[in-house]
């Protein structure tokens, strides 16, 4: 079974019939916005078993060209889709859900079939790879199932693959084997094609970027010309002692050789939590590869805040899904770019209990969307069309309203930025209510950050600590940082709303928040044996586990080196300080 997404004459007729649906971003079907249950997709006659896994279909609209991107995410050895990649009740796994919502992308998280190398790895190290059999074949079949199903509205020009370790190596295999399918790859600690499982710890003598590039082009076969529009992101860590760090820059250099032409190395840009990114631009001024070095991370997927923080996933480092999606979307060379429409004006007027909204935009506008927030809200995705519109909404309850208008192009499906309608009043002004949602955010040894929801009709706010007002002048935002506090101390907070003429509402319900104890996080890098001896970790069955977090650092000996961060008294995590 060979998989291509070329348009046949029959498909062309079908697409022409569907053109109005395809062009209108607002009509792309919304998904459930949740990870699916475990799926069974196809049998693997080579490695054994059936391909299982999960997919995420967002409820949000697609971000590019009115159709959804599709991302194939491949776990590493000793990992599973359910245990490490997708969201769980305790963490966000690899942390793909947030960016899937942001870009309106569908995410696939399959499990490696069989039990390769005794650790459920992908078959990247095979001497031959096929588009129809083995892991490559069943993964391409999986891609085809989603691309060919119109309910997902997948754009064949926005298909990507990323993975860690064995999954990173398989990512490179997939990108090389099927450059016509994958517009971009994200290789994390992945040995290149032609390397054996016994050579992951060091680059073999005589193996170079040119070797990897030749192997990659041989995999592509007749699809080699498709490399002209593929991009590659590569990421590796400075404390990875499982897969040789040298494979990172080698992978990136190999892909540039495959892509052809000359390249300009860009300036290194710092990435959050430590590390740098170096872009390489081709002769046409297009960014084709990205090289990220993550400082202080071991062999792991950098998930960023909220991700899993164990079993080769690191939540204390850069959010790689967010970075690589931004890289892919900004640098995709296959999707025709079109400017979104622009709202030129919007307004609202009131007569009795009727609100009349007006708007105008540039471009070929297929629909306007009106959103009004207030006592009787409005969410109207079909408010009008054309160069301008006027629509009346009757029977609105008294109170304060605000809202926005957006326009969607009938041809491209792109949506404009929102035109904001400021707060206005229908009928009599209601009694000023205290703000809801008071919550404490970031806390230090001497400060506590507070936030709350906007109160209808409010022009400002007062904050009270232990019953005493702390702000000298009215606070005009919905947040405040109370500073100059004592360490390790609890405080009670309330907030009130201010209206026109100096009217003040009752105070909100109180919350209690405490400052931290002032503990300063420090890091120590040494052998696992030294960590255990010094009391930063403990031995369990021959493995070193970080005290407090119990994160597995590897074997308890002098050959394994780890960086531990002490985040509180007696509590250590693998990696740098948060």
Q: State the Cα–Cα distance between residues 111 and 100, nearest whole angstrom.
A: 19
DSSP state of 22: H
Q: Are 475 and 463 in contact (CB under 8 A)?
A: yes
Q: Is 165 a catalytic residue?
A: yes
Inter-axis angle of helices 209-220 and 166-177, to 10 degrees?
Answer: 60
Helix, strand, or coil (residue 527): strand
Rounded to a whole number of angstroms, the distance between the first and last alpha carbons of the chain is 47
Spot the catalytic one: 90, 127, 165, 351: 165
Give the span between the Cα atoms of 175 and 155, in whole angstroms.
Answer: 17
Three-state DSSP class for 496? strand
Three-state secondary-structure class, residue 478: coil
The answer to whether 497 touches 504, Cβ cutoff 8 Å, is yes
Positive or negative, the CA dihedral 470, 472, 474, 480 is: negative
CA separation, residue 578 to residues 96, 361, 566 (Å): 20, 45, 10
What is the C-alpha separation between 276 and 303, in angstroms, rounded? Answer: 16
Say which residues have a Cβ less than 8 Å from residue 298's Cβ, sequence separation at least 6.
237, 239, 240, 241, 242, 314, 562, 563, 574, 575
Q: Among all residues, which ones are annotated catalytic?
A: 165
């Amino acid at each position: 079974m060979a998989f291509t997404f070329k348009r046949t004459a029959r498909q062309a007729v079908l697409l022409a019939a569907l053109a109005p649906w395809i062009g209108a971003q607002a009509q792309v079907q919304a998904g459930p916005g949740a990870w699916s249950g475990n799926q069974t997709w196809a049998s693997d006659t080579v490695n054994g078993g059936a391909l299982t896994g999960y997919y995420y279909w967002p409820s949000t609209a697609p971000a590019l060209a009115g159709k959804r991107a599709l991302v194939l995410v491949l776990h590493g050895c000793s990992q599973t889709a359910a245990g490490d990649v997708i969201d769980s009740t305790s963490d966000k796994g690899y942390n793909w859900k947030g960016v899937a919502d942001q870009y309106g992308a569908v995410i696939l998280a399959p499990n490696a079939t069989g039990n390769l190398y005794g650790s459920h790895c992908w078959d990247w190290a095979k001497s031959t790879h096929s588009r129809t059999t083995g892991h490559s074949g069943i993964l391409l079949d999986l891609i085809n199932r989603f691309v060919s199903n119109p309910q997902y509205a997948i754009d064949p020009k926005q298909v990507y693959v990323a993975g860690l370790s064995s999954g990173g190596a398989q990512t490179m295999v997939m990108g090389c084997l099927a450059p016509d399918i994958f517009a971009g790859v994200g290789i994390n600690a992945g040995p290149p094609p032609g390397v054996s499982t016994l050579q992951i710890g060091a680059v073999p003598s005589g193996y170079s970027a040119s070797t990897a590039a030749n192997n990659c082009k041989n995999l592509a076969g007749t699809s080699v010309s498709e490399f002209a529009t593929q991009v590659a992101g590569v990421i590796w860590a400075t404390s990875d002692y499982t897969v040789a760090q040298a494979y990172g820059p080698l992978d990136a250099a190999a892909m540039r050789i495959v892509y052809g032409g000359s390249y300009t190395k860009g300036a290194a840009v710092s990435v959050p939590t430590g590390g740098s990114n170096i872009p390489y631009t081709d002769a046409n001024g297009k960014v084709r590869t990205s090289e990220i070095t993550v400082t202080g991370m071991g062999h792991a997927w950098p998930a960023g805040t909220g991700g899993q923080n164990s079993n080769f996933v690191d939540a204390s480092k850069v959010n790689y899904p967010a970075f690589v999606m931004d890289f892919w979307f900004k640098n995709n060379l296959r999707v025709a770019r079109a400017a979104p429409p622009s709202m030129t004006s919007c307004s609202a007027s009131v007569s009795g209990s009727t609100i009349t909204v007006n708007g105008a935009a540039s471009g070929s506008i297929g629909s306007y969307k009106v959103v009004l927030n207030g006592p009787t809200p409005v969410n109207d995705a079909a408010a009008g069309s054309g160069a301008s519109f006027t629509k009346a909404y009757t029977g609105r309850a008294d109170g304060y309203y605000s809202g926005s208008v957006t326009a969607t192009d009938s041809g491209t499906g792109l949506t404009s930025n929102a035109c904001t309608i400021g707060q206005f009043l229908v009928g009599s002004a209601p009694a000023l209510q205290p703000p809801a949602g008071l919550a404490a955010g970031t806390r230090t040894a001497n400060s506590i950050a507070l936030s709350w929801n906007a109160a209808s009709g409010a022009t400002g706010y007062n904050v009270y600590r232990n019953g005493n007002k702390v702000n000298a002048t009215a606070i005009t935002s919905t947040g405040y940082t109370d500073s100059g506090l004592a360490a390790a101390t609890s405080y009670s907070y309330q907030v009130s709303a201010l209206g026109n003429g100096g009217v003040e509402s009752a105070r909100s319900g109180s919350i209690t928040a405490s400052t931290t104890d002032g503990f300063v996080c420090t890091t120590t890098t040494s052998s696992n044996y030294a960590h255990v001896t010094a009391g930063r970790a403990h031995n369990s069955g021959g493995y070193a586990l970080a005290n407090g977090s119990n994160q597995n650092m590897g074997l308890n000996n002098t050959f394994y080196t780890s960086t531990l961060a002490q985040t509180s008294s007696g509590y250590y995590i693998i990696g740098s300080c948060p």
